[in-house]
Structures are given as structure tokens and as C-alpha cells.
């Protein structure tokens, strides 16, 4: 069920993130309220995410070295994600909704085919590893047909603590918190 008021904590968290498309609907989105996904600000932000995905997922220059490829990809990730720790690496392809609502800690690694629907804030701790085909879905919908037809959605945050290993083909649903690994 969607929240009925803005979440000051989520809004404060978003103030620390980069590339945020600030608007009333964005604040509703990260607060878990029903929001209109088709506003110009949110459509433009998703468009930029698609542009990023195309570039990141196909970037492999003829003169690339392993070191230069890591550096290039890190710079691309910094250009779209809300926060990126040092030593983070994501094997392409990656698919995201916005990117700005994703905060990744230090020494993160994701294998191929990562999907993050980051309508809610997604926080990934330090030294976290993902197997291939991990999907994180912060986005969700009401069960009523008309609201889905009207592109009315809501989201819940996802938190993954430090030192977790998320195995291949795992799907993490909206509102899930995974504590620190050991």
C-alpha cells in the first residue's frame, strides 16, 4: 500500500545523492506515495538513464586495456548514479530506471545483467557482491487496473547491508532490507 504523505527522511537522503530530477512527483516517488511517472522531469530522467545504458553497455574501444575499461566505466557510473564508492565495478549490461536513486558503497562488484528499478532509494553497502542476473525492484503498482493504465505507481526503498553476497538470479522486491553479511 502506498504512503499518504511525503517522507522527510527519504527526501533528506535524496539531498545527498547526485543527478536528482527534483520535482513534487520525484519527492512523492521516493516517499512511497502514489506518483505520476509520466511527468516531464521523470520522463527526462529516465531518458538520460537510457542514454547512459546504451553507452555503458556497448563501450569497448578497440584500444581498451583492462585498466582503461575499468576507469571509463567508473566515470560513466559516476555520471548517472546517486553515489558510487571507490573500487566499484559493474559488468555490463546494466538496466536502471533513473540511476540517481542508487547509492553503492566501496568495493562493490556486480556480474552481468544487473537490473535496478530505482524508483525508491536503493542503498548497497560496502564489499557487496552480486552474481549474474540480480534484479532489484523498488518500483511497484497498485492492483487496480485503472491506476496502472494511468501510469500511477509507488515505490519502496531497498537496503543491502555491508559484506553481502547476492547469488545469481536473485530478485529483491520493494521494501526489502538485507542486513550485514558475515
Q: Cell 530522467 sits at which residue?
A: 45
> E strand or H helix at 173, and its extent?
none
Q: Mean pLDDT throughout 113-123?
A: 99
User: Which is the catalytic residue, given 13, 127, 133, 141?
Assistant: 141
The burial of 138, by beta-carbon neighbours within 10 Å (0-12 exposed, 13-18 middle, 19 or more buried), is given as buried
Q: Is residue 103 a contact partner of residue 122, using CB atoms and an 8 Å limit?
A: yes
Please write the tens of the pLDDT for every residue from 130-148. 999 999 999 998 888 988 8
Look at residue 100 and tell me whether its pLDDT is greater than 90. Answer: yes
Q: Mean pLDDT throughout 162-171?
A: 98
**Listed residue (139, 143, 104) closest to 120, CA to CA:** 139
Look at residue 170 and tell me whether its pLDDT is greater than 90. Answer: yes
Q: What is the mean pLDDT of the chain?
A: 97
Q: What is the C-alpha separation between 70 and 91, in angstroms, rounded?
A: 10
Look at residue 150 and tell me whether its pLDDT is greater than 90. Answer: no
Please write the tens of the pLDDT for every residue from 55-66. 999 999 999 999
Active site residue 141: yes
Q: Is residue 84 a contact partner of residue 62, using CB atoms and an 8 Å limit?
A: no
Please write the tens of the pLDDT for every residue from 15-50. 999 999 999 999 999 999 999 999 999 999 999 999
Q: Mean pLDDT throughout 74-102?
A: 98
Catalogue all structural domains in the chain, each as residue range(s) with its CATH number. Answer: 8-178 (2.160.10.10)
Q: How confident is the model at residue 80 (pLDDT cuts 50, 70, 90)?
A: very high
Look at residue 90 and tell me whether its pLDDT is greater than 90. Answer: yes
Q: How many CB atoms lie within 10 A of CB 147?
A: 15
Q: Cell 540517481 sits at which residue?
A: 100
* Nearby residues of 81 by Cβ (< 8 Å), 6 or more positions away: 18, 19, 99, 100, 102, 103, 104
Q: Mean pLDDT throughout 98-118?
A: 99
Q: Where are the alpha helices (DSSP H) in the chain?
A: 8-15, 24-30, 40-58, 66-78, 145-149
Q: What is the C-alpha separation between 108 and 120, in angstroms, rounded?
A: 20
Amino acid at each position: 500500500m502506498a504512503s499518504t504523505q511525503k517522507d522527510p527522511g527519504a527526501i533528506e537522503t535524496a539531498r545527498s545523492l547526485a543527478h536528482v530530477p527534483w520535482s513534487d512527483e520525484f519527492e512523492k516517488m521516493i516517499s512511497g506515495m502514489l506518483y505520476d511517472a509520466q511527468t516531464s522531469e521523470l520522463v527526462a530522467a529516465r531518458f538520460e538513464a537510457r542514454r547512459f545504458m546504451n553507452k555503458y553497455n556497448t563501450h569497448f574501444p578497440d584500444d581498451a586495456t583492462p585498466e582503461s575499461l575499468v576507469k571509463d566505466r567508473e566515470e560513466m557510473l559516476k555520471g548517472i548514479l546517486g553515489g558510487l564508492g571507490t573500487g566499484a565495478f559493474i559488468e555490463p549490461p546494466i538496466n536502471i530506471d533513473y540511476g540517481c536513486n542508487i547509492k553503492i558503497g566501496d568495493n562493490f562488484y556486480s556480474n552481468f545483467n544487473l537490473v535496478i528499478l530505482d524508483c525508491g532509494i536503493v542503498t548497497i553497502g560496502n564489499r557487496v557482491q552480486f552474481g549474474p542476473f540480480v534484479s532489484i525492484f523498488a518500483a511497484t503498482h497498485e492492483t487496480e487496473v485503472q491506476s496502472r493504465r494511468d501510469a500511477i505507481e509507488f515505490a519502496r526503498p531497498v537496503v543491502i547491508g555491508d559484506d553481502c553476497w547476492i547469488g545469481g538470479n536473485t530478485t529483491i522486491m520493494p521494501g526489502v532490507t538485507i542486513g550485514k553479511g558475515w
